[in-house]
Structure 1
Amino acid sequence: MNIGYARVSTQGQDLTQQRSALTEAACNRVFEEKVSGARKDRPELGRMLDHLRPGDVIVVTRLDRLARSTSDLLGITERIKDAGAGLRSLAEPWADTTSPAGKMILTVFAGIADFERSLILERTSSGRAAAKARGVRFGPPSSLTLEQIAHARELIEREGKPVAAIARLLGVHRATLYRALAA
């Protein structure tokens, strides 16, 4: 069964052209919505994906009506594939997972997206390492100052005060004080 998906970004836009193109493409059912593609929550898209059965083919007039980015397209395509269904774009004939060539193109896209994710992770990791080398501290600021830690150490070692009492005095949890003393 061919299932159409039509989307426009604003309430003022019209779905008529998409609707007629999907009807000409022999879509038995068309899911329509007027919502920005940038929104993750697109109710009709979710309903359509939940409605899929093996052998169904999602038909869109253009891929930008279905997905907001390459990674979004690949995620949606994966859900379609997991349901045993296919995807076909009327404007982009190469985007047809019902054909071997279309499957290959989307596989290449998936590889490129994976490569891009790896590059981003690598750049992020090297950036963090460089920042750490410059002395940048990550995470929340320390709950205790160096003076408070020194004072706590003195109270424990010289006066024999219990860690729990000192932690209460400093307004921190015992574990926080233990970590600070160990550092």
Structure 2
Amino acid sequence: MALIFYARVSSKDQNLARQKQRAIDVSADKIFTDKISGKNMERPGLQALLDYVRDGDVVEVVTLDRLSRNYDDIRDIVERLKRKGVKMISDDLPQTNSGNDLVDKFMLDMMINLMSFVAENERSKIRERQRQGIAEAKKRGVYKGRPFKFMPDSKDREGRLVYLNVKRAYQSNNYKSKAQLARDNGLSRQQLYRILKRIDDEN
């Protein structure tokens, strides 16, 4: 039997230290990590964990939403683990030990279903708050959206170079077609037209 720990944060600039420390504290035999949103199951660390676990293993997370923010995905992951004979432990769920395995299993399943619902409901509330915030900012005329990568003053070096390449070709008329210009610079049509509009606005 092995204790496998799964740790996840939503983005690369977030820190896994607290979850990794918990893995050390419980003497986990192996740790799998992801720095990616939990909105779906397309995560290398999670997929590696699901491939790695064997009958009799235990998988632990600090909170159930580290597995996923999606109710159906959490249930799917837990079911896949159960089919492999793997026990699931989440530190935010009380561990039942009634002495009756059937009762303990029922209680655990019920708590997982409840916490899965709470995790997805919270994600839905966050999305709704973001939507409302953007709508309010648009009303006030202060919403700017994401900064565009391909600009002459972009913080992204590649973005600046692509912009200059497109500008040079466009202004010298040194391109066969706009579709080809987009392909040559690794851009979508929409990205190219946005760059061209900015170039035209500069003139």
Structure 1 pair 29/79, CA: closer, same or farther in 2 (3 Å)?
A: same
CA RMSD of superposed structures (Å): 2.4
Q: Secondary structure at the match of 1:104?
A: helix
Give the corresponding residue for 1:163. none
Alignment correspondent of 2:36? 35
How many residues were matched structurally?
A: 110
Q: Cα distance 1:17–1:37, how it changes in 2: closer, same or farther (>3 A)? A: same
Distance in 2 separating the partners of 1:23 and 1:110: 24
| One-letter amino acid of the structure 2 residue matched with residue 108 of structure 1 | M
Structure 1 unaligned residues grouped into runs of 5+: 113-183
Greater Rg, structure 1 or structure 2? Answer: 1
TM-score by length of 1: 0.54
Structure 1 consecutive aligned stretches of length 4 or more whose deviation exceeds 3 Å: 99-102, 106-112
1:84 maps to which residue?
85
* Residue matched to 1:139: none
Alpha-carbon offset, residue 110 of structure 1: 8.1
Given that 2:7 and 2:16 are in contact with CA atoms closer than 8 Å, whether structure 1 keeps it comes out as yes
CA contact (8 A) 1:10 1:34 kept: yes
Aligned twin of 2:109:
107
Pairwise CA distance, 1:94? 4.5
Counting aligned pairs with the same residue, the percent is 35
* Partner residue, 1:68: 69
1:102-151 Cα distance to aligned partner (Å, 9 max, x none): 52134336888xxxxxxxxxxxxxxxxxxxxxxxxxxxxxxxxxxxxxxx
Instruction: Output one character per residue of 1:9-64: Cα deviation in whole Å (capped at 9) or x when no partner.
Output: 01110000000011111211000110000133111101101101111000101100
TM-score calculated relative to the size of structure 2:
0.49
Distance change >3 Å, CA 54–CA 75, structure 1 → 2 = same
Report the Cα distance in structure 2 between the residues aligned to 1:69 and 1:109, rounded to whole angstroms. 15
Q: Please list every run of 5 or more consecutive structure 2 residues that lacks an aligned counterpart in the other structure.
A: 115-203
CA gap 1:110/1:66 in 2 versus in 1, 3 angstroms: closer
Give the alignment of 1:110-149 within 5 angstroms: none
